[in-house]
A and B are shown apart, each in its own frame.
Chain A
Amino acid sequence: METRDLGQTGHESTVATFGAIALNWLEQEGADQLVELALERGVNHFDVAPTYGDAELKLGPKLRQHREEIYLGCKTQERDYEGARDKLERSLDRLGVDHIDLYQIHGLEYESELEEITGDDGALAAIRDAQDEGLIGDIGLTSHGDPGLILDAIEQIDDLATVMFPLNPVVMAKSDGDGDSEYDYEAVLERANEEGIGTLGIKAFAKGSWPSTDELPEADRPYCNWYQPVDRPDEIRERFDFAASQGLTSVVSPGDPKLVAMVLDAASRYDGMAEETQRSLLEAARHDESPVPEQLHH
């Protein structure tokens, strides 16, 4: 599978990142099999979070077995020093490892959060201290929120190594490229690339928002995803090729285990996408409703 420089971290990530949230929906045996499948396909970048049910626990056994092959990303939604430190220690414990390669501020949504995180008693100070102690490697940020806020974070956090944000034809078609629009993740991608910051794309496979729960109760959704995904192999491949062609470092696999194998297959066959075909996808998605950022407050 193709690998790309993860910004200036010195790590070359595969063009697909395994989103370990998918493990939450599986029994341990199935979780082990899915991790093995990702590794067999050559994926070397894994991403997990304490908020993904028991995904950290289920990732643990295979992670420890293959620790050297995996660049491990984890996250914290805590915003203050103590909270971030506690969550990091808890994640290290649940994963059963002594080092996390990429530790990310998870789900930045509000300007006030950015102020708190970057303050003297903020999460970033705890993460930097953990970095000095060798508990974590690189520092990252994830957000499904306002692209302008991510740009502010890039401006304010000098040691930011990666950003994770939504990128798919639906939001790209609504982007006007000037960083002002609520969908302008394209501006984030461009800025991150200019700054040598690694870029991890989520929601690449989003087709739209789920119907309201009155119309389709959550229990009846056919996929364990925050958004309604495309689900045919040709569509999955098209979406993967599109996202990978935009200049992202890596495309994160979706949350439902049923989709992961198709994404890994697409990733292992990735060989670019013609510009006119990229525009075709944008044109087809131009009038679609975006699942971003409506699904923010989950």
Chain B
Amino acid sequence: MAIPRTVTTALADRPVAGAVCLEAGAGVGNTTAGLLAGGASRVYAVTNERKHAKSTLERVRANADLRTDSPGRVAILEADLRDIPLPADSVEVITAHGLFNVVPPADLAPIITELTRVAAPGCHLVVDDYEPLPDDAAVADLFALENAAAELADGRPMLSFYAAATLQRLFVGAGWEFDRTRTLLEPVPWTETHLEAHAEVVHSRANRLDNALGERLCEQADALVETIGSESVGEMYSLAFRWPA
């Protein structure tokens, strides 16, 4: 599987070769793959979801190029980003590619504190995420439904789209020096596959709710997927920071 251009673009101006890296929120391992392809000496892929840990491992195993000289080049850590199992000052490049949109506001500060703790002097940090969607975006209705189901089931939202300026201020407030911003995607393609995955989240949360309410949420989610089909809207940005040397 090729490494997405969003990842290669975000990493293009970072000194990945030879660096000890941390992918915060591994997903399917796209950024881990990008870091390994960029010559990272070691990549810690941290995720709190077992299926993401597994898919990242499979991704690395399936790609011969990424495995080259690599026994030990990648470590997949199933852990909470609020409590990263790595020593302080130990990481030279940190990436958070599409992470913060699944971080509820209450967890922002503890995660930023932990990422800052593990950063070595001179560490580079790349934060890629989505601007809040415009009010007239059709997909916003599906995401609102997903958040409603998650709030009802878990007591916290599933998705939070933070403006680039907001995350920039938070990291600068934690002591990071702002380096640059760039647009990765504009518009953002929310494909049928994406929408189905979000509808699936509604289903999984709704299953834990009172039957009638849960059923209505699922019906609405399925109807939105059907109506929207796909939509290209919004912006994905990339922020880069530097921890003082």
Contacts and interface: CB of A to CB of B under 8 A. Distances in A.
Interface string A107-121: 000000000000000
A176 B2 contact: yes
B186 A284 contact: no
Interface of A: 173-176, 178, 181, 274-277, 279-284, 286-287
Interface of B: 2-6, 9, 65, 183-189, 191, 193, 230, 232, 235
A274 to B, nearest CB: 7
Nearest to A287: B193
Given A284-B189, A284-B191, A279 B184 contact: yes
A173 to B, nearest CB: 7
A56 B109 CA distance: 69
Contacts of B185: 276, 279-280, 283
A279 B2 contact: no
A280 B188 contact: yes
Contacts of A181: 2
Given A276-B183, A280-B189, A283-B189, 12 more contacts: A173-B5, A174-B2, A276-B186, A277-B186, A279-B9, A280-B232, A282-B4, A282-B5, A283-B5, A286-B2, A287-B191, A287-B193
A241 to B, nearest CB: 14
A175 to B, nearest CB: 6
A166 B235 CA distance: 29
11 contacts: A173-B2, A173-B5, A175-B2, A276-B185, A276-B235, A277-B187, A279-B185, A283-B5, A284-B189, A284-B191, A287-B193
A284 B5 CA distance: 11
A176, A283, A287 interface centre (most CB from chain B within 10 Å): A283
A279 B187 contact: no
Contact of B186 (A175, A178, A280, A282): A280
Nearest to A238: B232
A178 B65 CA distance: 10
A284 B188 CA distance: 8
Contacts of A279: 5-6, 9, 184-185
Contacts of B2: 173-176, 181, 286
A47 to B, nearest CB: 29
